[in-house]
Amino acid sequence: MSRHIARRAPKETLGFAWGRFPTVDGSAITWRLYRRDHRRALHMHVLTFFAGHDRAVITGHLRRARRYLRDKVDNIDLVALGVTA
């Protein structure tokens, strides 16, 4: 089993965290991206890929998903501060 398919539990951090969860048969891997807002509420974005996908393609999707999650949580924080998002 290669490293990008192995299970990885998310770390407990105040900012960004991620976890990797393969299916039982190893045919697909689910990445869960987490980020906390100013209230420490947890926001999650999930992506699933087949194990045979090209790692460069997976990396590109994960980067876009991380930016999406960052922007989503930042907008929530800006609205809470009274600044228009």
Question: In terms of Cα–Cα distance, which of 4, 3, 1, 2 is closest to 49?
Answer: 4
pLDDT exceeds cutoff 50 at 9: yes
Nearest to 69 by CA among 50, 47, 48, 39: 47
**pLDDT given at position 3:** 59
Compute the distance between CA of residue 14 and CA of residue 19 in angstroms, rounded to an integer: 15
Q: Where residue 22 falls among pLDDT bands split at 50, 70, 90? A: very high
Across the range 17-41, mean pLDDT stands at 93
Computed over every residue of the chain, the mean pLDDT equals 90
Fold of 3-81: Nuclear Transport Factor 2; Chain: A, (3.10.450)
